[in-house]
Amino acid sequence: MLCLDTSSLIAYLQGDRGGDVELVDQALFENIGVLSPVTVTELLSDPRLSGRVRQIILELPTLPITDGFWTRAGLLRARILRGGHKARLADTLIAQNCLDHEATLVTRDTDFGIFKRLAGLRLAASL
């Protein structure tokens, strides 16, 4: 299962190139692409989003939030911050959602590297 991050999905929809964009294309073709609920929120927050893109987003499966998610996410963020690293709230929630479901995150956002290093988040692509 490949969890498609906002950065890579936007790049894909804009016709950009890159390893992450190729993985998004593959994940959509093979029906193994999923979204974190946070990614859905980020994408739908764009006031210029077309109806066609909105429909694509809403048709993709979303990873569920499991019991204890908010506690685990808070503890994960505290661990990252305690080490003096940056941990945006949205990134932490996406990372924890992927960790809970053993999903590999497809992203071009290098901020997720700290989650890989300190929490074992699986990353498929980083630019």
Task: Spell out the domains of the chain, with CATH numbers in brackets.
Answer: 2-125 (3.40.50.1010)
Q: E strands within the chain? A: 2-4, 33-34, 104-106, 123-125
Identify whether the C-beta of residue 43 lies closer than 8 Å to the C-beta of residue 57.
yes
pLDDT digits (tens, 9 = 90+) for 26-69: 999 999 999 999 999 999 999 999 998 899 899 999 999 999 99
Question: pTM of the prediction?
Answer: 0.92
| Mean pLDDT value of segment 106-110 | 95
